[in-house]
């Protein structure tokens, strides 16, 4: 027992002691970076760029699927070996900082040393606020991600002369036309709860912008009319044939993602992270991972259709997509922190983040260099993609998962699956969300 207490105290001290940048040798350091996004080959490109500045630090990317991430990371961190860096997300989603923050060191002093005392002026507010736990910066944001829109295969839309959906009727018509031609109209991995929450959030913002955010903050109740209508519309996606048959048994990653990238489906609910697939090399690699030998196709973002008929379109919601944390048990904390700082605070690191079009950089001075970025189909995509990202960054505060507690996260996933499968009534579903809200606030 004494040995266990001593070990616990040592771990706590390591996690809470201010980091002294450059205090440990990193020559020949071998680091393993755990995460789920954006994945190969993008992460290896980041590592290669990092090695131009730090050639003696070897970083290996270890990719885990979203659904397996928590179950795999927890025992690895408890074991204290083989994890030198790991990705965190906002709130209590997969890799949630509220869950894994206690296992990570405080990066505040390291960031101050890298950027100066005015570091808060140089980094986006969301990157610092969402990754701070009990006054300590437990992970360093890499980029923000926005959700609430669809991506479409414009080549398929053009081939079959399908109108881009703007409301419920045109969305149904588009799906029906594609299905007549042997193509899934809209695909969603409704067996993966986080993406169901994105769709429900988009529906609620279509009904009444901002109400979803207010409910997650306890400012209004989940039994309000917005959410009654929101769940009715969510259920209608299944009843009206927009959701593909068997959607509740499909995962967004890899299945729905692969169906879209292999051109088996014409539309998918994905956010700004999907922008990277407008780059030829990235799309080609991701299509090959989806078992497609086709050439890259033209995909463009569109607003979530106005299925509520309110005219409230274009709403998007945002979180830090992922941040880099350094576990207290990392074998070489100095080398691990250097990588986290390079990825999240350096001009070189944040520029490659910007140009990869995967996330919106947290370093305010880093923006995509459009003169050096060539898309799959520049004529069709340049304006659409640039307007899409500009709209995302101009959005009012509207958190994706950042305000959602672990209990609410679990309850909402259950409610959305239950209502969609007819195993739970809308009234009972909202009562369940209200009960969790009452326990939280």
Domain boundaries defined on the chain? 2-145+319-372, 149-315+390-440
Tokens 């809308």 found at: 426
Tokens 């074991």 found at: 79
Domain 2-145+319-372 has CATH 3.40.190.10: yes
Closest listed residue to residue 376, CA positions, set 291, 271, 239, 261: 261
Beta bridge pairs of residue 63: 35
How crowded is residue 22: how many other Cβ atoms within 10 Å of its Cβ?
12
- Determine whether 79 is exposed, middle or buried from the number of CB atoms within 10 Å of its CB (0-12, 13-18, 19+): exposed
Strands (E), 154-244: 184-187
State the DSSP H helix or E strand holding residue 63, giving kind and residue range, or none if neither. strand 57-63
List the pLDDT tens digit at each of the 441 positions of the chain.
333 333 333 333 334 333 444 434 456 799 999 999 888 888 999 999 999 999 999 999 999 988 899 999 999 999 998 999 999 998 777 899 989 999 999 999 999 999 999 999 999 888 898 899 999 999 999 999 999 999 999 999 999 999 999 999 999 999 999 999 999 999 999 999 999 999 999 999 999 999 999 999 999 999 999 999 999 999 999 999 999 999 999 999 999 999 999 999 999 999 999 999 999 999 999 999 999 999 999 999 999 999 999 999 999 999 888 999 999 999 999 999 999 999 999 999 999 999 989 888 999 999 999 999 999 999 999 999 999 999 988 888 899 988 888 899 999 999 999 999 999 999 999 999 999 987 765
Closest listed residue to residue 147, CA positions, set 185, 184, 200, 193: 200
Q: Decide which of 3.20.20.150, 3.40.190.10, 1.10.10.10, 3.40.50.300 is the CATH code for 149-315+390-440.
A: 3.40.190.10
Cis peptide before 254 (omega within 30 of 0): yes
- Residues 132, 323, 406, 218, CA torsion sign: positive
Give yes or no on whether 2-145+319-372 and 149-315+390-440 have one common fold.
yes
CA distance 395 to 133: 25
């Amino acid at each position: 027992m004494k040995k266990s207490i001593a070990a616990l105290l040592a771990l706590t001290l390591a996690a809470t002691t201010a980091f002294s940048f450059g205090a440990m040798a990193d020559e020949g350091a071998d680091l393993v970076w755990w995460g789920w996004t954006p994945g190969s080959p993008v992460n290896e490109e980041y590592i290669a760029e990092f090695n131009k500045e730090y050639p003696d630090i070897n970083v290996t990317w270890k990719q885990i699927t979203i659904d397996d991430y928590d179950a795999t990371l927890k025992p690895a961190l408890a074991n204290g070996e083989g994890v030198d860096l790991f990705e965190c997300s906002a709130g209590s989603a997969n890799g949630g900082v509220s869950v894994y923050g206690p296992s990570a060191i405080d990066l505040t002093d390291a960031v101050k040393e890298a950027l100066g005392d005015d570091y808060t002026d140089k980094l986006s507010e969301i990157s610092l606020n969402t990754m701070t736990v009990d006054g300590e910066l437990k992970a360093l944001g890499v980029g923000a991600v926005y959700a609430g829109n669809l991506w479409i295969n414009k080549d398929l839309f053009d081939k079959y002369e399908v109108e881009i959906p703007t409301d419920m009727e045109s969305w149904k018509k588009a799906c029906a036309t594609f299905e007549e031609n042997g193509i899934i109209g809209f695909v969603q991995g409704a067996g993966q709860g986080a993406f169901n929450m994105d769709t429900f959030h988009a529906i609620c913002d279509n009904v009444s912008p901002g109400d979803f955010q207010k409910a997650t903050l306890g400012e209004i109740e989940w039994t309000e009319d917005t959410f009654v209508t929101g769940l009715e519309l969510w259920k209608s996606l299944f009843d009206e044939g927009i959701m593909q048959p068997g959607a509740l048994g499909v995962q967004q990653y890899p299945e729905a993602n692969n169906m879209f990238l292999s051109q088996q489906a014409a539309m998918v609910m994905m956010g700004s992270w999907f922008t990277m697939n407008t780059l030829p090399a990235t799309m080609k690699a991701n299509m090959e991972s989806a078992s497609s030998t086709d050439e890259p196709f033209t995909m463009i973002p569109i607003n979530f259709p106005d299925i509520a008929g309110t005219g409230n379109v274009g709403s998007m919601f945002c979180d830090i997509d992922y941040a880099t944390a350094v576990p207290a048990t990392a074998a070489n904390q100095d080398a691990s922190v250097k990588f986290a700082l390079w990825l999240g605070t350096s001009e070189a690191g944040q520029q490659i983040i910007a140009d990869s079009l995967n996330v919106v950089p947290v370093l305010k001075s880093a923006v995509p260099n459009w003169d050096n970025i060539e898309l799959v189909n520049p004529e069709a995509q340049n304006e659409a993609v640039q307007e899409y990202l500009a709209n995302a960054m101009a959005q009012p505060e509207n958190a994706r998962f950042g305000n959602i507690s672990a209990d609410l996260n679990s309850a909402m996933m259950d409610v959305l699956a239950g209502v969609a499968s007819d195993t739970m009534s809308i009234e009972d579903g909202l009562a369940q969300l209200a009960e969790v809200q009452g326990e939280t606030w």
